[in-house]
Amino acid sequence: MKLAILLMSLALVACSSDQAPSANSEQAASAAVTALQNSSSASGKELYSACVACHGVNGEGNKALSAPSLTNQQSWYLERQLLGFRSGLRGSHPDDAFGAQMQAIAKTLPNEAAVRSVVAYIADFKAKVAPASLEGNAKRGADYYSNLCGACHGPAAEGNEKLQAPALAGVDDWYLLQQFDHFSKGIRGSDESDRYGYQMYMMGKTLPDADVAKDVVVYIQSLAD
């Protein structure tokens, strides 16, 4: 029953969005939900088997499914995002079809201990810089980055746990751009109770346009080499 409701809500979200997950990714999502529903005492490795279809065997991600690489992300950040999906802080906006997909999966992780074990398993993957997929003016991006982003994300985009600002260097450029776009449109982080998301939602309004955002992401990607 629970599964049917989850699948129905996934389908509804998909219909109401212009960035709808493909049939392949819907299939992978329902397979993950089913696998996790029977996983009450599973290890991190067993839990991660429900993530492989989208995030890859070694956490390398899959652009075709809009699933980011997870290997350059910090564990504290992955854990907080999974908890955010679970509580509905993230992935609840009606236009956030991919966030909704991930929310349904995170909600099926049996408990918080399971969230910690799957993150501990991901932490053992070898960090691998995601390949560049965008082109832009890195020099212009550098200026904006150092003025507006570096104070929280760090001069090398290495992240700052004290501020809960994640590392950005090495993460897929297309994913960073999409998330920045979602913050700027309020699809992510616009709920004031989402303390850290809301900070980034405010920052999403500081870059003049999508072209500059792309330049900033191209610059961030160059920091990982």
CB of 124 to ligand HEC, least distance (A): 13
- Euclidean distance between CA atoms 103 and 92, whole angstroms: 8
Residues 24-83 that bind ligand HEC (CB under 6 A): 25, 28-29, 32, 47, 50-51, 53-55, 65-68, 73, 78, 81-82
Least CB distance to ligand HEC at residue 180 (A): 5
Structure tokens at 29: 């999502």
CA distances from 131 to 13, 134, 135, 138, 154 (A): 30, 9, 12, 16, 21
b/e string for 72-105 if b means 16 or more Cβ within 10 A? bbbeebbbbbbbbbbeebbbbbebbbbbbbbbbb
Neighbours of 121 (CB within 10 A): 18
- Residues within the interface to ligand HEC (CB under 6 A): 25, 28-29, 32, 47, 50-51, 53-55, 65-68, 73, 78, 81-82, 98-99, 101-102, 105, 109, 118, 148-149, 151-153, 163-166, 168, 171, 176, 179-180, 189, 196-197, 199-200, 203, 206-207, 216
* Known binding residues: 51, 54-55, 102, 149, 152-153, 200
* Known binding residues for heme c: 51, 54-55, 102, 149, 152-153, 200
